[in-house]
Chains A and B, each alone.
Chain A
Amino acid sequence: MAVLVYTENWDGKFKKATYELLSYANEIAKNTGNETVAITVGNVSDEELKKLGQYGAVKVLVNKEEKFAKFTAQAYSTLLADAAKAQSANFVIFANSYSGRALAPRVSVKLDASLAPGAIQLPTSYEPFVIKKKAYSGKAFVDYELTGDVKVLTLNQNSFKIVEDTKKIVIEEYTTDVADNEFVAKVVDVQKETGKLSVTDAEILVSGGRGLKGPENWGMLEEMAEILGAGICCSRPVSDLDWRPHSEHVGQTGKVVAPNLYIAIGVSGAIQHLAGVNSSKVMVVINNDPEAPFFEAADYGIVGDAFEVVPKLNEALKNFKAS
């Protein structure tokens, strides 16, 4: 029996998040007497595939066929569900990412499985099988029991640490029959944001709100991001006003993020904003209004004018980094 993990690759490369996901799956495998098997689609070199063996995978299935070169949810889910059957997988694990969320529900229907989207930690119990997840946009948590024989999980980003467990890994080319009509939805263009740390990948995020007055004032945030190796994000009004791109909008209706450090500057901390950021490990708020609701949610706060505090903080951070 196996725990099958969908290890997505980006132009043939895995990310740190891939190894976190694999480590999580491997931990479940160890606790349920299963083997950890990875599956990926695309032109990934053997050298890159072998890296998965450092985190517990004994096998990796790889599909390099041209027809699967571009993501299409329907065909990919058939490919993955058939692999799960072939490997007698009783667990199929995805990242709670755009592709994981697109695939996991379809795969769970195909396998007649139970699905838990957005696990935040290892199961709280194996018999019965209980997963803890967020609900009400982070305002609550629930215990979610999976009663099916096969279980499909998606793991939230940045919620599990990498654990090394070196195994001798076997690389296997894999394919299955997928009907042509499952490729109807076609990707015709991909627009990548280049040269920027993506909001969901960043381990530190510097976030700006309407308190910054206008797009011309983002220079000091960019400087802070540069010093810290951080990504940049914003509140909804900021993207609605087109001060910043929509891809940077975080919150209930934007992206949900969980960095190690979230620095909110001139953001009031409305409940819908917090819903997208309250899983951050540490939150810092800089706001000139001591009554701003963000101070109730944050770990560290400075009451002050961002235009005075941020340049000073950048200096201090620069000195710290240089020391």
Chain B
Amino acid sequence: MKVLICIGHVPDTTSKIRFTDNDTKFDKSDIQYIVGPYEELGLTRLLELKEAKKIKTITAINVGLKETEATLRKALAIGADNAVRVDANPTDALFVAKQIAEVCKKDNYDIVITGKESIDYNGGQVGEMIAEYLGVPSISSTAKLDLDGDKATLVREIDGGKEVIETSIPFVATAQKGFAAEPRIPSMRGIMQARRKKLAVVAAVSQDEKTKTTKHFLPEAKAACKMVDADNVGELVRLLNEEAKVI
């Protein structure tokens, strides 16, 4: 069983967000990049399944410029067997999905895992788009994955509950909270081994751009918090009713 996991190269969750070039671009200076938190969960679960001998190899993939190799190395240090970087500056989700689908067609992966969304543009589209390009099932917002030979059981979050889904390989699933309990972090030994693992660089295929991010904005500064005395909770009720009009 060969599995591909799509690794997002995203700003650390505590990053201060700034823009440059007249607010058309994200300012990468002073930003610490990490493996996306959902992809971390995805990779962790795959490692558990590999240890249980249900998966043979785990390949990490990213579509990005050379700078993203550090993030792929981190995925290798956590435990992925090898990595692929598609050499391109990704323009939009469709572009990324197309590149990954091309790699899948060539190398025949049985399962593709992505995070449920990237934490920068919060698109949440890549996994489903890959599935569509490949013509295979997609299971979104997956909170559990188990394998039994060629069969998989997944739990998907839905509005107001959960669904249990059975499918067979090949398929794409997007990982969310619950996919693994705690994300694994690289060990010293993992970091040493990662240096020797294979990181292949492949060329991108062409894909028309369908969307463009034309401008970035920071939220408008909000008014200061109105403080209410703890001994005067009635005042809060009045404000919520008369001023905020929410009760």
Evaluate contact between B159 and A281: CB separation under 8 angstroms: no
> For the complex, is B64 an interface residue (Cβ under 8 Å from A)?
no
> For the complex, is A284 an interface residue (Cβ under 8 Å from B)?
yes
> For the complex, is B226 an interface residue (Cβ under 8 Å from A)?
yes
Complex-state Cα separation, A113 to B162, whole angstroms = 30
> For the complex, is B219 an interface residue (Cβ under 8 Å from A)?
yes
Chain A residues with CB under 8 Å of B216's CB are 135, 140-143
Q: State whether A301 and B226 are in contact (beta carbons under 8 Å apart), knowing that A110-B132, A187-B163 are contacts in the complex.
A: yes
Evaluate contact between A135 and B160: CB separation under 8 angstroms: no
Complex-state Cα separation, A253 to B11, whole angstroms = 15
Chain A residues with CB under 8 Å of B241's CB are 320
> For the complex, is A134 an interface residue (Cβ under 8 Å from B)?
yes
Which single residue of chain A is at the shortest CB-CB distance from B178?
Answer: A246
Evaluate contact between B223 and A299: CB separation under 8 angstroms: yes
In the complex, which range does the number of interface residues on chain A fall in?
35 or more
Q: Which of A204, A253, A317 has the most CB of B within 10 A?
A: A253
Complex-state Cα separation, A37 to B222, whole angstroms = 39
Partner of B125, one of A115, A285, A312: A115
Chain A residues with CB under 8 Å of B129's CB are 105-106, 108-109
> For the complex, is B128 an interface residue (Cβ under 8 Å from A)?
yes
Chain B residues with CB under 8 Å of A254's CB are 177
Chain B residues with CB under 8 Å of A312's CB are 233
A-contacting residues, B13-48, CB 8 Å: 13-15, 17, 19, 37-38
Complex-state Cα separation, A74 to B129, whole angstroms = 11
Tally inter-chain residue pairs, CB-CB below 8 A: 256
Partner of B138, one of A99, A106, A146, A246: A106
Evaluate contact between A193 and B160: CB separation under 8 angstroms: yes
Evaluate contact between B211 and A109: CB separation under 8 angstroms: no
State which of A20-28, A50-58, A166-174, A302-310 sits at the interface with chain B.
Answer: A302-310
Q: State whether A191 and B162 are in contact (beta carbons under 8 Å apart), knowing that A109-B132, A137-B122, A302-B230 are contacts in the complex.
A: yes
Q: State whether A261 and B138 are in contact (beta carbons under 8 Å apart), knowing that A142-B216, A184-B167 are contacts in the complex.
A: no
Report A130 CB to chain B, min CB distance, Å: 7
Report B53 CB to chain A, min CB distance, Å: 24
Chain B residues with CB under 8 Å of A86's CB are none
> For the complex, is A38 an interface residue (Cβ under 8 Å from B)?
no
Evaluate contact between A143 and B214: CB separation under 8 angstroms: yes
Evaluate contact between B125 and A117: CB separation under 8 angstroms: yes
Partner of A143, one of B11, B138, B215: B215
Complex-state Cα separation, A74 to B132, whole angstroms = 8
Residue-wise, chain A 172-199 has the 8 Å CB interface mask toward B (1 for contact) of 0000000000101111111111000010
Residue-wise, chain B 169-206 has the 8 Å CB interface mask toward A (1 for contact) of 00100001110000000000000000000000000000
Partner of B139, one of A114, A185, A252, A253: A185
> For the complex, is B94 an interface residue (Cβ under 8 Å from A)?
yes
> For the complex, is B70 an interface residue (Cβ under 8 Å from A)?
no
Complex-state Cα separation, A260 to B123, whole angstroms = 24
Chain B residues with CB under 8 Å of A185's CB are 137-139, 165-167, 171
Q: Mostly helix, strand, loop or mixed at chain A's interface?
A: mixed
Complex-state Cα separation, A116 to B129, whole angstroms = 13
B-contacting residues, A281-323, CB 8 Å: 281-282, 284-285, 295-305, 308-309, 312-313, 316-317, 320
Evaluate contact between A147 and B178: CB separation under 8 angstroms: no
Evaluate contact between B124 and A117: CB separation under 8 angstroms: yes
In the complex, which range does the number of interface residues on chain B fall in?
35 or more
Evaluate contact between A135 and B244: CB separation under 8 angstroms: no
Chain A residues with CB under 8 Å of B15's CB are 136
Evaluate contact between B228 and A187: CB separation under 8 angstroms: no
Evaluate contact between A98 and B157: CB separation under 8 angstroms: yes
Evaluate contact between B246 and A73: CB separation under 8 angstroms: no
Complex-state Cα separation, A7 to B124, whole angstroms = 20
Chain A residues with CB under 8 Å of B157's CB are 98, 247
Q: State whether A301 and B228 are in contact (beta carbons under 8 Å apart), knowing that A102-B128, A102-B138 are contacts in the complex.
A: yes
> For the complex, is B65 an interface residue (Cβ under 8 Å from A)?
no
Residue-wise, chain B 210-237 has the 8 Å CB interface mask toward A (1 for contact) of 1111111111001101111110011011
> For the complex, is B119 an interface residue (Cβ under 8 Å from A)?
yes
Partner of A296, one of B212, B214, B225: B225
Chain B residues with CB under 8 Å of A261's CB are 240, 244, 246-247
B binding-site residues for A, Cβ under 8 Å: 11, 13-15, 17, 19, 37-38, 93-94, 97, 119-129, 131-133, 136-141, 143, 156-168, 171, 176-178, 209-219, 222-223, 225-230, 233-234, 236-237, 239-241, 244, 246-247
Name 10 extra pairs, CB < 8 A, besides A189-B163, A190-B158, A192-B160.
A77-B132, A101-B128, A139-B17, A188-B165, A188-B166, A247-B161, A301-B227, A302-B227, A316-B236, A316-B237
A-B contact pairs, 10 of them (CB 8 A): A98-B141, A106-B128, A106-B131, A115-B94, A136-B119, A139-B218, A142-B214, A146-B211, A186-B167, A297-B225
Q: Which 4 pairs from chain A and chain B are nearest by CB?
A: A304-B230, A185-B137, A105-B128, A102-B140
